[in-house]
Structure 1
């Protein structure tokens, strides 16, 4: 429970205690008044010469004493409530102090994490710049790889989504990608194999059976790991796969993909290894990316690919879509490529 919730509960409990103490005081005052009235009536009855008057005063004294006893019981009941409220108030005060400390600690952790993310983003940008410069220099002296011209067959895209904790909208992303492709110019030349709740078995089966040209993953990842799901129906902790194991699985085929797209947090750290070992092109995210930003980028990227754009243009189009939507993650998608290929002239889909 948050500190603000504890504060509201504490304020409510304090008001209940004050009201109970006030009620107890009112009943104590009433008890005193009634006992005083009873004493006066009894004294008057003892002094009365008439038996009728004496009886009347004694009855009046009895009623006052009964009322005093009732008021005393009510005062005790309300005092008990006040004590109970005071105990609960002290317990809430202790919990509030712990919650405030916990939130302060969390704020400090967020501050440190933001600093680390800023440092990682800066390092990723520097690395990307150095990589591009190195690639440009290498391309001057090296002939570009003779990538095969797209055959008159559909571009096969394997889309893997994993969110075992239910905290990511991978289904929404897959729906947006499908809609973007279906409304594109060359929609008939793309085939999607969409696998939500993807397991490592789905990865291997998709690679060997579907033989994708593009492998797309959306879910959780980090600098050197990717998280798949397990074969269970309820929310659960994901199956952690190292970046090395993932790369080994993707290249375990006679027809390796041309592009691997990791639409997941901090995955840009993995793309250099992918272009060296697995595919000539790879895309990853330079830092943590919001769910909505990842969805917008992916939908626009595949829309541009299906419209016959090059990989580079599709990547720039996805970044532009984020900027046009006023989203903050446009600098996170990072494109890497092998030194002997050029994303500006590599087109994955061509119409007849």
Structure 2
């Protein structure tokens, strides 16, 4: 039983005892009045009537006292259970807090290690080869027969992070909603994206969940996604699959594009939002794909959100993600 349930039980017993005490007070008043009447009356019939009232009141008072004693016993037991439950909850919270602190410490050490490696191995970047502005295509699908996701909150948070970044004008974020399979080619041709971001549901069989014309589920297979990237890879540098069970898709498409991010298992809505927002924030500060990926995972740890081990980063063989910088600093 939870702490809240024990507290409710204690409150209920306290109300019962208060009600018994109120009834007890009424009966004691009735007894006192009956005794006074006996002292004053001279009528035999009245005397007999009041004696019966005295007897009834005394019996009710005795019953109420027994009932109160039983309730008090139950209350003491409930209070003991409540205190023990609160102690267990406190220990549990302390354990979770220690675990969270340890995770943050480990992740910070990892960040320090990566920073040291970057300092020891300076990256030579040819900024002339980078685009003046990169286009991000956000593809959102949330069919009516699937659980509801707050994809609007995801793009809103991403947009806010980009607007707060140093090179915010270097990122052009465009979105398409209720995406069907035949919408994707049109959107890619229109936007010419450097980054494609799939947001929504994924299946355990490595499919992306899109929508039909009626708004119900339509599946896009890993093989179809890979063929799509092979055909449309002219401008695409990075694909983010912010869907459950999408690491297989991410790994497969790097045969044709430089880099991809996927999720190795089911990912909660809040974790997906937080990771993506911080990733784009780092990209918009001119950080490498590797550093942005690590920052996205670190943001989950710092926010106390589970799932920092779920995102996976894949690159085309021979490429190094710590050398991939997508945003050109403003001149």
- Which bracket does the TM-score occupy, shorter chain normalised? 0.5 to 0.7
Pairwise mapping of residues 9-88 of structure 1 onto structure 2 (< 5 A)? none
* 1:235-287, Cα deviation, whole Å (9 max, x unpaired): x42111111112222332362411010001010122221101x3110100010
**Which residue is 1:282 aligned to?**
260
For 2:273 and 2:280, the matched residues in 1 are separated by: 11
Q: Matched residue pairs, number? A: 204
| Structure 2 partner of 1:179 | 160
From 179, 187, 195, the counterpart of 1:214: 195
> What is the distance in 2 between the residues matched to 1:315 and 1:253?
24
Are residue 311 (structure 1) and residue 293 (structure 2) matched? no
Give the distance between the partners of 1:304 and 1:318, measured in 2 at CA: 8
- C-alpha distance in 2 between matches for 1:283 and 1:226: 14
Q: CA deviation at 1:336?
A: 0.7
Give the equivalent residue in structure 2 for 1:161. Answer: 140
Match in the other structure for 1:320: 298
Q: Any unmatched runs of 5+ in structure 2? A: 1-124
Structure 1 residues 310 and 246: CA distance shift in structure 2, 3 A: same
- Deviations 1:37-56 (CA, angstroms, capped at 9, x unpaired): xxxxxxxxxxxxxxxxxxxx
Counterpart pick for 1:225 among 186, 207, 223: 207
**Using the alignment, how far apart are the partners of 1:330 and 1:149 within structure 2?**
34
The answer to whether residue 148 in structure 2 is matched with residue 170 in structure 1 is: no
- Structure 1 pair 280–255 and aligned structure 2 pair: CA distance change class (3 A): same
Which contiguous aligned blocks of 4+ residues in structure 1 show a shift greater than 4 angstroms?
Answer: 146-150
Indicate the SS of the match to 1:251. helix
Alignment RMSD: 2.1
C-alpha displacement at 1:150, in angstroms?
4.3
Q: If you compute each CA radius of gyration, which structure gives the higher value, 1 or 2?
A: 1
Q: Is the 1:203–1:249 Cα contact (8 Å) retained in structure 2?
A: no
| Matched residue, 1:265 | 244
Match of 1:341 among 302, 312, 319: 319
Could you tell me how far 1:339 is from its partner in structure 2? 1.9
Spell out, residue by residue over 1:121-158, the C-alpha distance to the aligned partner (whole angstroms, 9 max, x if none). Answer: xxxxxxxxxxxxxxxxxxxxxxxxx9995434211111
Partner Cα separation in structure 2 for residue 244 and residue 350 of structure 1: 33
Over 3 Å counting, the alpha-carbon distance change for 1:307 and 1:203 in structure 2 is same
Q: Secondary structure at the match of 2:262?
A: strand
> 2:226–2:249: 8 Å Cα contact kept in structure 1?
no
